[in-house]
Structure formats: C-alpha cells, structure tokens
Structure 1
Amino acid sequence: MSTQTMVMTTPGAKTRPRVRRSTATTAWYHLAMVIASLVWLIPMLWMLSLSLSDNKALTKETQTLIPQGFTLENLLGVFSVGLTSRWFLNSAIVSILTTVLTVLLCAMAGYAFAKFTFRGKTIVYASVLAGLMIPKEAMFIPLFTMIGDVSMHNTYAALILPRIAAPLGVFLMTQFFSQVPAEVEEAARIDGAGPWRTFFSVMLPLARPSMIALAIFTFVQTWNDYLWPLVSATKSEMFTITTGLASLQGNFAQATELGSLMARGLIGSLPLLLVFIFFQKHLIRGISMASGSK
C-alpha cells in the first residue's frame, strides 16, 4: 500500500510545478496583452477626452486624458459645421460600393484562377500578384491621367473604380476556391447547373467567410484612404471624411477649436470600430480558411 501510495503521489508532486508555471505564464501573457491594449487605446482615449472638453479650456491644456470643462457641445455639433455630413455620406457611399464591387470581382477572378484551365493562366495570375509589389502611389500619375481624359474627376466613379482591382483579394479568393473539392462542382453539374449557376448558387455561399474577411479589409482601407481622394477630388463637396477633416486644419478658426476637430475625427472613425467589433470573428475565420489552416 505504501509503495502504491508513493507511485500515485509522485506524479502529482511532479506536475504541480508545471501547473504553477503554466498559470504564471498565462498571467504574464494576459498582463502583456492588457499593457499592449492600453498603449493602443491611449490615443483613442486622448481624442475622446479632447472631444469632451471645452475649446477655450483646451487653449491652456491639451496633454491630459481628463476632459477639461466637460461638454457635449462638440459631439452634438459634429454634423452642423461645414460639409461634415456630406463628407461622411461620401465616405459611406464610396466605401460600401467599393467593398461590394471588389468582393464580387475578386471572387469571380479567384474562382476562375482556381477552377478553370486556360492558356496563359500562370502568366496572368503572376501578373495579378505582381500588383502587390507595386506601391499604389506609383500608379497615381497614370490613373490621374486616364480618369482626367474621360472627365471623371470629382465623381464617385473616380473614387471607386481605381480601388476595385485588388490583387490581395484575388489571392485570398483563389486560395479558398482551390481548397473546395472538385466533387462539389461535379455534383452541381450533375444537377444541371451551368458555370454561372454553380458559381452564384454553390461557390459563393461556401466562400462567405473569406468574402466577409475581404470585405472588412476593403472597407477599412477605402474609408481610411487619404491620398487618392486628395488627388482626384478637388471640389469640397466631393471630399471624403479623411480629406475633409484634413482640409479643416488649414482653416485657422477650425484649427483653434481642437475639441470640435477631435469630435469629428472620433465620429469619422466610429464606423471602423463598429466593423471590427461586430465582424472580428468572421475576419479571423475567413483568413484562417483562406490560408488553409484547420
């Protein structure tokens, strides 16, 4: 009995330090994540504090996370000053339409590259992926010239069309469709479905996680884009929220009202925060499925 007791208790004695070490590692990991989150949140908290502060009080002190002269006037008056409401609407229209068109176009291209065989397929696919290595700033001059030749500047089309060709989106969708078994397409063909019916009725529903991930990427990048709207949109009524807020910094009256400016920036970034909060699970799932991880 004593030998059996020693045999049974010895493993327990050896595993306790491992359990404690694992608990300590987990605690340090969570502490590091909390610190990293606070570092990321400090600029947001500072912007929130300034937006809740009185503009006159901010002329004396701005380096604080505590609102100076607490007021909601800045937040309530965001859309009543200038063309902020129009800029917000422009960003919403451009971002939503760009997202829909980009996801649809990339899904079609990815399906073609993954499931169809045609002459020059490898060269065409390599050419598409080569777009990932070209800085978008390097394409501004030819894009500006092309759109100017057809008199499309200061239009929604000029803000949308240059973005819908997304090499990263084509790559993600190609990776996903290449993992779909060929038996799925064969079953659809047996049921009498043609290529288009197979794509829209069978493949697209299967690709929903990857499409959501691509949609989030596209929406965030389009909403945050500053350089192309700055180049293409020269009329203030066609500014997006990013270029519109930047234009206010050149206005002395608006630049001195730091609380109002931060309130507009906070409202302008709110859609992105909501997208990540509500779709973060879909984003992680879509990326993992596109990369082929189990």
Structure 2
Amino acid sequence: MSTITQPRPAARTGASAVDGGRLFNRLCGTCLTLFALIWLVPFVWALTTSLRNDGSITQHPTSLFAGGWSLHAYSYAWDTYPIGSWYLNSLVISVLAVLFTVAFCSMAGFALAFLRFRGRGAVIALVMAGLMLPSEALVLPQFIEYRSLHLLGTYWALVLPSVAAPVSVFVFHAFFRGIPQPLIEAARIDGASWWRVYAAVCMPICRPAISTVAILTFITSWNSFLWPLLVLNQTKMQTIPVGLASLVNNSNIQYAEVMASSVLGFLPLIAVFLLFQRQITQGIATTGIK
C-alpha cells in the first residue's frame, strides 16, 4: 500500500516570508544610503570649499583638491566677522527657548491629559489646529504684538514665541496619556496634589519626551531666520543664520569665507544630534509620533 506525500505549504510560506523580509530590508537600506548621500554631498562640498582659496574656487568650482587646502578662510572669518557674538546670541536664545518650552508645554500637556475642565476639547482642537498653521502666517501679528510690548530688539522677542509650540504640547500630551492611570490615582489617594503628581511622578518618567522637545526646540530656535531678521536690528545681536546671510554680497562673494562661516554655524547642530540621537529616537518611539 503506497502513501501519497503531501507538500508542505507552511514551509514554503515561511521561506517566502523570509525572502520578502530580506528584500524589504535591502530596499530600506538602499533608500537610507541614497538619502544619506543626498545629505552628505552638499556637506562635503561646503567643507572642502571652505578649505580652498577663492581663486581656485572660481577657476575650478567642482574640483575638491585644486589649489590645496588651508584653514585661512576660518581664521579670516572668525577675525573679521563677529561670529563669536552670533554664537553667544544663538546659544542664549536657544537655551532659554528650551527651558521655557519644556516647562510650559509640559504643564499644558499634563493639564490636557489628566485634568477635566470645561472647554478641554476646544483647547485640544486648538492645539491640533496649531500644528497645521505655518509659522510665516504669524509673523505680522507677532510683530505688531511685540512692538506694542516694546520687546523688539531684545532676546525675549525671540524666546517667547517659541514657548507656545503646539507640537511640544502634543508630544507631552501623548506621553502623559501613556502613563498608567492607576499610578496617578495611587498618588492622588496618598494625598499628593496635582502639582506634586506633575513634578514628582510624571516628569521623572517622561525623560524621553523632555529630551525630544528640548533637542527639537534647540534646533528650531538655532535655525530660525525670518523672525530674528525682523526683530533684531543690531549687528552684534544677530543670530548665526541672520549673520551668515549678511556675509553674502552680490558684488564680491568670498566663497571660502562664506562656506567656512556656514560650517562653523551648523557644527553645533551636528554635535547636538550626534550626542542625543538615541534620546530623539526613544522619545519619538514612546510618544507615538509618526
């Protein structure tokens, strides 16, 4: 009596799933490599251009090694332009923006996550609507507001607008919603006030959200150009982006000096990202932002 051996579709299905997973991983790796090259090529070109002299850049703009390399453009840019003052201004403004944004947006996110009050749904809707509103649309109303408050030409005109950040409120609100409700109820039963629950229970837990908001706020504040250009009217009070834009002269562009100043401008952002990239990834993963 003969037996008929049936094929094993489960094994074939498993093998095809493994092949599909490998193909997907290779596709993701290829896309990641292409995006990395798209970002790295301008960076490498700016770095090599800053190490060359203007004569070789004009004659051979696409060559990376023509004319040799030197640090003359960096020393010239640092000695000629107030880059140190621009660095200090950007650092002070960015740090203050981070401190105030983390403090106020975390309190707003905590209130929307745990407190029940009249108009809570409308406030959440306004926060969500603020995510879709471009910052350029707020330039004129903010300029009129801060001019009436006599804050134009001060650091506060740059710090205060970044405090009311809907995306930061959304990040904290999403993270606070993920905290187990029994933990909050246990703290309330023990007699803790809402302020104590916020400061002693929730804030130590939401370190990933704090890191994410702090880093994104720092980068956004450091790269801001339009609003500081309108608000700050003194050269020594300018930030890095506004100061770098003032170096470009249509009649005589010093390519090496401009590129050297640009490299000096974005090096702090690269350092911040490389140091805190794990916190950024963890914060985005835990808050559920896509």
Q: TM-score normalised to the size of structure 2?
A: 0.89
Q: Cα distance 1:204–1:67, how it changes in 2: closer, same or farther (>3 A)?
A: farther
Alignment partners' CA distance in 1, 2:270 and 2:160: 25
Give the gaps of 5 or more residues in structure 1: none
Distance in 2 between residues matched to 1:21 and 1:192, nearest whole Å: 55
Report percent identity of matched pairs: 36
Tell me the equivalent position of 1:245: 244
Secondary structure of the corresponding residue to residue 68 of structure 2: coil
Alignment of 1:1-294 (within 5 A): 23=22, 26-66=25-65, 68-250=67-249, 252=251, 255=253, 257-291=254-288
Q: Distance in 1 between matches of 2:203 and 2:189?
A: 19
**What is the CA distance between 1:24 and its match in structure 2?**
5.5
How far apart, CA to CA, are the structure 2 residues paired with 1:15 and 1:177? Answer: 40
Q: Does the CA-based 8 Å contact 1:179-1:292 persist in structure 2?
A: no
Name the stretch that deviates more: 143-152 or 185-194.
Answer: 185-194
CA distance in 1, matches of 2:66, 2:276: 31
Unpaired runs of at least 5, structure 2: none
- The structure-2 alpha-carbon separation of the partners of 1:128 and 1:11, relative to structure 1 and needing over 3 Å to count, comes to closer
The answer to whether the 8 A contact 2:211-2:283 is kept is: yes
Preserved CA contact (<8 Å) 1:128 1:167: yes
Residues 1:194 and 1:12: Cα distance change in structure 2 (over 3 Å): closer
Q: Is the 8 A contact 1:176 1:292 kept in 2?
A: no
Q: Is the 8 A contact 1:159 1:229 kept in 2?
A: yes
Structure 1 distance, partners of 2:237, 2:275, is: 29
1:247-271, Cα deviation, whole Å (9 max, x unpaired): 1113755x2x211110110111011
Tell whether the 8 Å contact from 2:127 to 2:166 is kept in structure 1 after alignment.
Answer: yes
- Is the alpha carbon distance of 1:109 and 1:22 closer, same or farther for their aligned partners in structure 2, counting shifts above 3 Å? closer
Matched-pair contact (CA < 8 Å) for 1:46–1:64: no
Change (3 A) 1:185 1:17: closer
Contact 2:157 2:231 in 1 (8 A): yes
- Cα distance change on mapping 1:176 and 1:67 into 2, 3 Å: farther
C-alpha displacement at 1:230, in angstroms? Answer: 0.7
Letter of the aligned partner of 1:249 in structure 2? V
What is the alpha-carbon distance in structure 2 between the residues aligned to residue 184 and residue 17 of structure 1? 45
Cα displacement (A) at 1:186:
2.3
C-alpha RMSD over aligned residues: 2.7
- Write the deviation string for residues 83-125 of structure 1: whole angstroms up to 9, x where unpaired: 1111111111111110111111110000000000111111122
Letter in 2 for 1:84: I
Task: After TM superposition, give the deviation of residue 69 of structure 1 in Å.
Answer: 2.1
Task: Report deviation, 1:17.
Answer: 7.6
Which segment drifts farther, 171-180 or 69-78?
69-78
Letter in 2 for 1:245: L
Give the structure-1-normalised TM-score.
Answer: 0.87
Change (3 A) 1:193 1:58: same
What is the distance in 1 between the residues matched to 2:34 and 2:283?
Answer: 28
Provide the C-alpha distance between the structure 2 equivalents of 1:292 and 1:156, rounded to a whole number of angstroms: 31
